[in-house]
Amino acid sequence: MKNKSLVSRILSSIFFKRASAGAVGYARNTRRLFELIREAIDKSGGLSGANISVFREQLGIVTRLLKAYASGQYRALPWKTLIRVIAVLIYFVSPIDILPDFLPIVGISDDIALMLWLFSGIKDDIENFRQWESNVGTADSAARPVQTIKLS
């Protein structure tokens, strides 16, 4: 319950409202979107702890989803979901928010809580993307010529 109230406070904060307002600009600018993805991956690399591997795995899926969207390969993502994902990533990479990142341990807890809220809220979109991603991988490998080695 405490986590829910933290997420509610984040979502109604000026920090998240600014992130949401800026999300459309990122969605329309591929270069900026790729920079945001890189920043999120870089920030997650500094996290440690027992459950961080699951967090990084989910973040990896979301960043692959955004990369596929930005490159035009995957467009089955609803606009509302795209803007929500981008807004959360903007908030995540920002060092100044409800709990500033320079506060030891506590400073990252709001970022992680918001990311977990995102992962939970878009799980169907994530699953659709994962299914598309696995089909694309299968199609790519089926399209590649099979090399045979002649033994003589």
pLDDT-based confidence at residue 151 (cuts at 50, 70, 90): very low
Residue 69 belongs to some domain of the structure: yes
Task: Show the DSSP H helices in the chain as ranges.
Answer: 2-11, 14-27, 30-45, 52-70, 79-93, 106-121, 123-143
Can you give the residue range of the structural domain that contains 62?
2-129
Provide the number of structural domains found in the chain: 1
pTM as predicted: 0.85
The whole-number pLDDT of residue 150 equals 43
The whole-number pLDDT of residue 143 equals 47
The whole-number pLDDT of residue 3 equals 60
24-68: pLDDT as tens digits = 999 999 999 999 999 999 999 888 777 788 888 999 999 999 999
Residue 34 belongs to some domain of the structure: yes
Which has the closest alpha carbon to 74: 134, 129, 33? Answer: 129
**Percent of all residues in the chain with a pLDDT value above 70, rounded to a whole number:** 87
88-145: pLDDT as tens digits = 999 999 999 999 888 878 888 999 999 999 999 999 999 999 999 999 866 654 444 4
Residue 109 belongs to some domain of the structure: yes
